């Protein structure tokens, strides 16, 4: 999205709602592409949310010196966690509807083989002797 910086984000001619919709259509889809099947870790969610709020602040024209808290940033956009969870539910619905023999469904609903470990000490290799 660096090409849009000078053409769109830094222009005062466009209304904020238009810039928000372009960010929602291009920015969020680019940011979250292929993220649906990944596990959600708290530090990754926090990093994505920081980027999301920071970008909304730049769209609204607020800089860091104005000391505006994140709770004050009220937009019609959802939080990053909510966006990610809705994308994940859409992906899960897609995977549950595909054929049974396909790999994504097998990975999602598959079970681990419990297996057993042999008792005793592991066999030493030649390089360890």
How high is the pLDDT of residue 5?
Answer: 63
pLDDT in tens, 15-25: 877 888 888 88
Query: How many Å apart are CA 46 and CA 1, to the nearest integer?
Result: 21
Question: What whole-number distance in Å separates Cα of residue 46 and Cα of residue 63?
Answer: 20
Q: Determine the 3-state secondary structure of 7 from DSSP.
A: helix
Q: How far is CA 127 from the centre of its chain?
A: 44
Q: Is the pLDDT of residue 41 over 70?
A: yes
Is residue 70's pLDDT more than 70?
A: no
Angstrom CA distances, 28 to 24, 39, 53, 98, 104, stand at 5, 18, 12, 26, 24
Distance in angstroms between the alpha carbons of the first and the last residue of the chain: 57
Chain centroid to CA 123: 44
Phi and psi of 95, rounded to 5°? -65, -35
């Amino acid at each position: 999205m660096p090409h849009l910086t000078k053409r769109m984000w830094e222009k005062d001619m466009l209304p904020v709602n238009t810039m928000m919709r372009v960010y929602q259509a291009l920015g969020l889809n680019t940011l979250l592409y292929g993220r649906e099947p990944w596990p959600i870790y708290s530090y990754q969610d926090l990093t994505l949310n920081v980027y999301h709020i920071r970008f909304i602040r730049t769209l609204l024209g607020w800089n860091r010196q104005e000391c505006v808290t994140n709770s004050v940033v009220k937009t019609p956009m959802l939080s990053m966690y909510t966006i990610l969870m809705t994308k994940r539910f859409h992906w899960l619905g897609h995977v549950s509807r595909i054929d049974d023999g396909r790999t994504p469904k097998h990975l999602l609903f598959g079970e681990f083989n419990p297996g057993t470990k042999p008792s005793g000490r592991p066999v030493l290799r030649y390089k360890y002797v």
